[in-house]
């Protein structure tokens, strides 16, 4: 019985940790100087940079300032950072990395 529980726990861990992380950086061409420069320091995630003007109207309505950074685990949004009045994101890259690392090890309830 204990071996089955360990096997199930390992399987759940493997599935949870195998989900792909994506960092989505959205900016406008007129604001390229304020791109978030530390994106390449984020480990364990695919980095995608897009221009706001190339997005559909639905995406444009959701963005209130540029640049904006989203972090997804699979299809779930786990983090978002928006530029301040200076049109720059001031959050440290370590904060973004921490969001990724913390989402890898969520506790799984075994209550019956």
Q: Is the pLDDT of residue 1 over 60?
A: no
Q: Is residue 97 part of a domain?
A: yes
Q: Is residue 9 part of a domain?
A: no
Give the residue carrying structure tokens 């720059």.
Answer: 88
Residue 24, pLDDT score: 98
Average of pLDDT values for 34-44? 97
The structure's pTM equals 0.77
Whichever domain contains 31, its CATH number is 3.40.30.10
Q: What total number of domains does the chain contain?
A: 1
Q: Is residue 3 part of a domain?
A: no
Q: Is residue 4 part of a domain?
A: no
Residue 6, pLDDT score: 46
Q: Is residue 52 part of a domain?
A: yes
| Spatial separation of the C-alpha atoms in residues 55 and 59, rounded to whole Å | 6
- Residue 64 DSSP symbol: -
The domain containing residue 33 runs over which residues?
Answer: 20-104
Q: Is residue 112 part of a domain?
A: no
- Dihedrals φ, ψ of 101, to 5°? -60, -40
| 56-107 per-position pLDDT tens digit | 999 999 999 999 999 999 999 999 999 999 999 999 999 999 999 999 876 5
Average pLDDT, the chain: 86
């Amino acid at each position: 019985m204990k071996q089955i529980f360990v096997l199930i726990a390992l399987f759940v861990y493997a599935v949870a940790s195998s989900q792909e992380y994506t960092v989505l950086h959205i900016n406008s061409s007129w604001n390229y100087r304020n791109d978030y420069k530390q994106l390449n320091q984020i480990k364990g995630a695919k980095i995608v940079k897009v221009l706001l003007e190339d997005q559909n109207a639905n995406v444009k309505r959701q963005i209130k300032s540029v640049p904006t950074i989203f972090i997804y685990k699979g299809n779930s949004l786990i983090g978002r950072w928006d530029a301040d009045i200076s049109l720059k994101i001031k959050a440290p890259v370590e904060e973004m990395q921490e969001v990724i690392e913390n989402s890898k090890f969520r506790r799984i309830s075994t209550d019956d």
